[in-house]
Amino acid sequence: MRKKVNLIFATIVFAVVGVFLVEGAEGFCVYNQTDTKIMVTQVAGGIFGKIVDPGEKVCCHYEDRRCNEGGKMDSIVTFNVGKQESTWYKSVCLDFSIKAGGWLLIEKIDGKYMCGSIPPDSVMGK
């Protein structure tokens, strides 16, 4: 009986871990690795727009036509990114493009806000 319980528990754990691994592989995510709120507005390929708190991420599945009109993992989606300045947002990156199955990373390095991608080969823009 104990072996059966362990087997069921192990199956549940692997299923949950699998969901998290697949989530990242099935859509784009925007990671805010800065100390301020970031506004991400999609300017091409969909209508995704979110405010991302420091240390947080937001994601959208690549098959969701609202954030990926092409519907494929290698479709291109383009964003404008701004950082919070009091009651408005200052541009950080304009027309930054990634694959719809990729990741957008916003960082603050040596006092400068920058956009990049994870993994590096998913970047298609500036």
pLDDT digits (tens, 9 = 90+) for 88-110: 999 999 999 999 999 999 999 99
DSSP the chain: -HHHHHHHHHHHHHHHHHHHHHHHHTEEEEEEESSS-EEEEEEESS--EEEE-TT-EEEEETT-TTT-TT-STT-EEEEEEEEEETTEEEEEEEEEEEETTSEEEEEEETTEEEEEEESGGGB---
Predicted TM-score (pTM) of the model is 0.72
Q: Is the dihedral of CA 53, 115, 75, 41 positive or negative?
A: positive
pLDDT at 76: 93
Q: Domain total for the chain? A: 1
pLDDT at 86: 87
The whole domain housing 117 covers: 2-122
Peptide bond preceding 119: is omega within 30 degrees of 0, i.e. cis? yes
pLDDT at 2: 53
Query: What span, in angstroms and rounded, lies between the C-alpha atoms of 34 and 43?
Result: 22
Q: Give the CA-trace dihedral at 77, 85, 31, 65, to 10 degrees.
A: -30
pLDDT at 66: 94
Mean pLDDT per 10-residue run, the chain (126 residues)? Answer: 45 36 65 96 94 96 93 93 92 94 94 82 42
Which has the closest alpha carbon to 34: 109, 112, 118, 108?
108
pLDDT at 55: 96
Please give the structure tokens belonging to residue 36: 């301020």
